[in-house]
Amino acid sequence: MNYRSDIRNIAIIAHVDHGKTTLVDAMLKQSRVFRDNQKVGELIMDQGDLEREKGITIMAKNTAVVYRGVKINIIDTPGHADFSGEVERVISMADGCLLLVDSIEGPMPQTKFVLRKALEKSLRPIVVINKIDRQNSRIAEVLKLTEDLFLELATSADQLDFPVVYTSATEGTAVSEPGMKGKDITPLFECILEKVPPPQIESGPFQMLVSNLDYESHKGKIAIGRIWRGKVAPHDQVVNMSADGSITLYAIGEVLTYLGLKRLEVAEAEAGDIVAVTGLEKVSIGDTIASPERPEALPRIEVGEPTVEMAFGVNTSPFAGREAYFSTTRQLRARLYKELETNLSLRVQDTDSPDTFLVKGRGELHLAILIETMRRESYEFEVSKPEAITKVVDGKLMEPVETLTIDTRDEYIGALTEMLGKRQAQLTDMRNDGHDNVHLEFHIPTKGLIGFRGAFLTATRGEGIMNTAFLGYEAWHGDIASTRNGALVASEQGIAVAYGLNNAQGRGLTFIEPSTPVYEGMMVGLNSRSQDIAINVCKEKKKTNVRSSTSDIAVKLTPPVKLSLEQAIDFINKDELVEVTPENIRLRKKLLTQAQRLRDISSARRSIKA
Ligand SMILES: Nc1nc2c(ncn2[C@@H]2O[C@H](COP(=O)(O)OP(=O)(O)OP(=O)(O)O)[C@@H](O)[C@H]2O)c(=O)[nH]1
Ligand SMILES: [Mg+2]
């Protein structure tokens, strides 16, 4: 075996918000890949609009820096559990990883998940304790907890012997011992050069595994991955081996390698490097591209199964076709299936109804990001309540279960355990720190988590952090009854007015402002009682010719509660839908007229009796 000492390939992995992308910023800035006058800002790698808005990484991305003549290929990954498919997808390109741990929070559920994946792939980890500039940082304790995590997960003794670097990604500094004063990020680069094994290479005909895809209008599809064997140059003849076993011959277009935020055209690239190649029209993630001399497929990338599903349907609201460019079944179906090319942990399935597709993902956020992306591309459609994906094993109904960890204040324990009890959660651990802070761990079916986040934030008044991690499948725990109140449902089509909304506010909370167009069956608020009620929010005050002292005073409305897309998805019940268009997010009953809904209830009662 030979090695390439001029390259290192690393993935940056961690729990959400522990500072991965900020650390990549620091490495990019120090390695001077920008012009001196170039304004690059922060979280440079989070280039997607939604990534910037939400301040989270959604897609794994490649970059590279050169340090002391060695090219370090860096793969930034998302930390949110819903995007863990991305981590699984890309870590096979790396030989080592930086496992970031926040110096206050310490290892969290996703730290454990990603470390397990990295150790399974035999990546050499470097532990990076980050945010050491923060005031209450507890570096020694966090290091101890990280060591415990390695003890739990390591599969061989040498994995326990990991180097540690202490960083402040925001300040762009790293030190090898806590307490030292940092000057720049050099100690981290030195550690990477010393501890991450250089890529092993095999000589022979070209072979690469496609781990990512990109698209540029004038270049077409771009296949990104690591070269495992041989070399590649523009115009080379290659074969692409796809999942169904088919083999297609192509000529390579351009060969590109990474540097900073750019991809550079090169005359040749060799084993060990991470490259992007063009010219392969039908390539997919997981395919092997190889020389026709030795067309051997590498093992395909395996990504964990989805746990949550939602129906996506053609918009059937009375307002359909008004606010979007794409609204037909054919367009919706094509867009969903196209998503599968890059979104590896997603699944799409046709259903008995030609207008409805079942979309399965790793969590509510995973699906919500897809929905938001599509509405920005000018699609309209309707989605149903997310549900946990059950399966039947040996004739037994099984459902996904997760661990839920909560860090909050003591005073909320009662309210939380009561809420979670109804959602079939079992308390498995509880630790107090003696200063009114409590750490709780629960075992909970995925279905019990759906719609929980909103309730959690309200119950803890924002003073809590919750995290979940997928555990596995268990026998079905039984149904959970909805705990939500009924809806205020518009009884007529028209334009909502202050007078009508004021009446509605007598019943509960409202979601819309005056002048909002509504249709019959649209949900305009939350009732203070458990059943739905129909209400006419378009009703004007009766004109009389008697002037009274009070009747002409303008109604003062409480500002509406506006639900975001994620809140809307969280909010709806099984008999309801979210209508998504580029301009609006509306909530509606599946059955729009009150007569239909009453008939539905009575037929349900009859079937229970029968
Ligand atoms: N004080 C301090 N804040 C930091 C440091 N590193 C990152 N942060 C902050 O932590 C927040 C999250 O940083 P990101 O770099 O987006 O974290 P991430 O790990 O990439 O997050 P995801 O990709 O969404 O998982 C940002 O507000 C950063 O400014 C640090 O060293 N010190
Ligand atoms: Mg990030």
pLDDT in tens, 458-494: 888 878 888 888 888 999 999 988 778 999 999 999 9
Residue 436, classified by CB atoms within 10 Å of its CB into exposed (0-12), middle (13-18) or buried (19+), is exposed
Q: Provide the CA 548 distance to its chain's centre, in angstroms.
A: 57
What's the gap in Å between 168 CA and the centre of ligand 1? 10
Instruction: Give the tens place of pLDDT for each residue, 293-317.
Output: 999 999 988 788 899 999 999 999 9
- CA–CA separation, 463 and 442 (whole Å): 18
Determine if ligand 1 sits within 6 Å of the CB of residue 18: yes
Which residues, including other chains, have CB under 8 Å from residue 351's CB and lie 6 or more apart? 311, 357, 358
Q: What is the mean predicted confidence (pLDDT) over 380-404?
A: 95
Residue nearest to atom 8 of ligand 1 (CA): 19
Determine if ligand 1 sits within 6 Å of the CB of residue 21: yes
The pLDDT-based confidence of 370 (bands split at 50, 70, 90) is very high
- CA–CA separation, 286 and 210 (whole Å): 5
130 CA: nearest ligand 1 atom: 31
Q: Provide the CA 120 distance to its chain's centre, in angstroms.
A: 22
Q: What is the mean predicted confidence (pLDDT) over 23-48?
A: 79
The pLDDT-based confidence of 600 (bands split at 50, 70, 90) is confident
Residue whose pair of structure tokens reads 């190649």 in the numeric block: 277
Residues with CB under 5 Å of ion ligand 2 are 20-21, 57
Determine if ligand 1 sits within 6 Å of the CB of residue 14: yes
The pLDDT-based confidence of 81 (bands split at 50, 70, 90) is confident
- CA–CA separation, 293 and 603 (whole Å): 67
CA distances from 318 to 243, 522, 584 (A): 42, 10, 14
Determine if ligand 1 sits within 6 Å of the CB of residue 198: no
Question: Do 312 and 381 meet the contact criterion of CB atoms below 8 Å apart?
Answer: yes
Determine if ligand 1 sits within 6 Å of the CB of residue 168: yes
Q: Does residue 40 have a pLDDT over 80?
A: no
Determine if ligand 1 sits within 6 Å of the CB of residue 169: yes
pLDDT of residue 48: 86
Question: Do 208 and 259 meet the contact criterion of CB atoms below 8 Å apart?
Answer: no
Q: Does residue 549 have a pLDDT over 50?
A: no
Predicted structure pTM score: 0.87
Inter-residue long-range contacts of 27-30, CB under 8 Å, 24+ positions, other chains counted:
27/65, 27/72, 27/74, 27/185, 27/188, 27/189, 28/63, 28/65, 28/260, 28/261, 29/172, 30/65, 30/172, 30/184, 30/185, 30/186, 30/189
Determine if ligand 1 sits within 6 Å of the CB of residue 182: no
Determine if ligand 1 sits within 6 Å of the CB of residue 43: yes
169 CA: nearest ligand 1 atom: 31
Q: What is the mean predicted confidence (pLDDT) over 378-387?
A: 97
Q: What is the mean predicted confidence (pLDDT) over 144-154?
A: 94
The pLDDT-based confidence of 442 (bands split at 50, 70, 90) is very high
Residue nearest to atom 23 of ligand 1 (CA): 57
What is the torsional sign of CA 499, 503, 504, 509?
Answer: positive
Which residues, including other chains, have CB under 8 Å from residue 439's CB and lie 6 or more apart? 405, 406, 407, 429, 430, 431, 432, 433
pLDDT of residue 323: 95
pLDDT of residue 610: 63
pLDDT of residue 218: 87
pLDDT of residue 289: 97
Determine if ligand 1 sits within 6 Å of the CB of residue 131: yes
Determine if ligand 1 sits within 6 Å of the CB of residue 170: yes
55 CA: nearest ligand 1 atom: 16
The pLDDT-based confidence of 35 (bands split at 50, 70, 90) is low
Instruction: Give the tens place of pLDDT for each residue, 160-191.
Output: 999 999 999 999 999 999 988 899 999 999 99
Q: What is the mean predicted confidence (pLDDT) over 21-34?
A: 86
Q: Does residue 378 have a pLDDT over 90?
A: yes
Question: Do 366 and 286 meet the contact criterion of CB atoms below 8 Å apart?
Answer: no
Q: Does residue 1 have a pLDDT over 90?
A: no
Q: What is the mean predicted confidence (pLDDT) over 399-421?
A: 92
pLDDT of residue 552: 44
What's the gap in Å between 79 CA and the centre of ligand 2? 7
Residue nearest to atom 2 of ligand 1 (CA): 131
Question: What does pLDDT average to over the chain?
Answer: 91
Determine if ligand 1 sits within 6 Å of the CB of residue 134: yes
pLDDT of residue 545: 61
Q: Which parts of 212-354 fold into alpha helices (H)?
A: 329-339
Determine if ligand 1 sits within 6 Å of the CB of residue 101: no
**Residue of 20, 21, 22, 97 to test ligand 1 pocket, by largest number of atoms within 8 Å of CB:** 22
14 CA: nearest ligand 1 atom: 19
The pLDDT-based confidence of 38 (bands split at 50, 70, 90) is low
The pLDDT-based confidence of 544 (bands split at 50, 70, 90) is low
CA distances from 602 to 476, 480, 576, 599 (A): 28, 22, 18, 5
Determine if ligand 1 sits within 6 Å of the CB of residue 15: no
What's the gap in Å between 300 CA and the centre of ligand 1? 32
Element (H, E) at 203: none
- Of 455-464, 545-554, 571-580, the range with the lowest mean pLDDT is 545-554
Percent of the chain topping pLDDT 70: 96
Look up residue 252 and give its two tokens.
């390579």
Which residues, including other chains, have CB under 8 Å from residue 26's CB and lie 6 or more apart? 167, 169, 170, 172, 173, 185
Look up residue 593 and give its two tokens.
């007229």
168 CA: nearest ligand 1 atom: 31
Determine if ligand 1 sits within 6 Å of the CB of residue 485: no
What's the gap in Å between 559 CA and the centre of ligand 2? 35
Q: Does residue 550 have a pLDDT over 70?
A: no
Q: Does residue 37 have a pLDDT over 80?
A: no
pLDDT of residue 541: 80
What's the gap in Å between 466 CA and the centre of ligand 1? 18
pLDDT of residue 605: 80
What single letter denotes the amino acid at residue 232? V
Q: Does residue 41 have a pLDDT over 90?
A: no
Which residues, including other chains, have CB under 8 Å from residue 559's CB and lie 6 or more apart? none
